[in-house]
Amino acid sequence: MPHVLNISSYKFVPIHDAAALREQLLERANALQLKGTILLAEEGINMFLAGPAADVRDFVAQLQRDPRFADLAPKESWSEHQPFKKMLVKVKGEIIRMNHPTIRPSEGRAPAVPPATVKRWLDQGHDDTGRPVVTLDTRNDFEVDEGSFSGAIDWRITKFTEFPDAMRAHLDELKDKTVVSFCTGGIRCEKAAILMREEGLEHVYQLEGGILKYFEETDGSHYHGGCFVFDERRALGPDLQTTGLQHSDEA
């Protein structure tokens, strides 16, 4: 039975002591012999960690004692082996780079739709008002190639900073539709949904918790293939088990 607990979690929240927090979190993670990547920025935190379940949960519990992170709710999956080679804690300009500084999710999120609702909408082919529903993949092209929702809009972007221009080029195609933006764990589709609303699209939502939460809370219907993850597991299936192996330091 897989015994390595893998978690991913993020939160957009103002962090004004990122450098000091970096040292604290790195020391704590190393003490627990965890591996993975934590990104810190003024806009928030984004983390991917793996290790024995008790140690991972101890780390999360300590982090949640900080009021800024009290409501962190990590997504969990399991693996036979440690998928990360080292422990990194980095301070960045953004925890997910969009190069669009007016998008500040900590000041107000776009509406989020729980996985069960998205599944129901896709089952019936429209939202609860009868409006056509489309899913919009905000990930990079190589991630989409690993798997995605059936019929998802895919603009073949190679990095997230290309999303704003791609969205504006296709804005008219999205009008009069209910758009559900999605990504691996929620962080990219959260920024994407805010931007689309700012650009005048009224019926835009983000998939709460991303693909991984959709796998966790539904049977994975309407999704084909695996969900690419940035560690040696390469991709996870709807059962949150590894579908392949990748050797990479990227996280």
Identify the pLDDT of residue 125: 92
CATH of 105-244, one of 3.40.250.10, 3.90.1150.10, 3.40.50.2000, 3.40.50.10860: 3.40.250.10
Yes or no: say if 202 and 177 are a contact pair by the CB < 8 Å rule.
Answer: no
pLDDT tens for the chain, 251 residues long, are 789 999 999 999 999 999 999 999 999 999 999 999 999 999 999 999 999 999 999 999 999 999 999 999 999 999 999 999 999 999 999 999 998 877 888 778 889 999 999 999 999 999 999 999 999 999 999 999 999 999 999 999 999 999 999 999 999 999 999 999 999 999 999 999 999 999 999 999 999 999 999 999 999 999 999 999 999 899 999 999 988 544 333 33
Residue 100 has what pLDDT? 84
Active-site positions? 183
Q: Is the dihedral of CA 219, 223, 225, 227 positive or negative?
A: negative
Which residue, among 9, 28, 7, 26, has the nearest Cα to 18 in the 3D structure?
A: 26
Q: At how many degrees (to 10) do helices 18-31 and 53-64 cross?
A: 150
Indicate the domain borders of the chain: 4-91, 105-244
Q: What is the pLDDT of residue 107?
A: 79
Cα–Cα dist 19/13, whole Å: 15
Intrachain domains 4-91 and 105-244 with the same fold: no
- Assign a CATH topology to domain 4-91: Alpha-Beta Plaits (3.30.70)
pLDDT of residue 244: 58
The 3-state secondary structure of 56-86, one letter per residue: HHHHHHHHHCCHHHCCCCCEEEEECCCCCCC
pLDDT of res. 251:
31
Residue 18, phi then psi, degrees to nearest 5: -60, -40
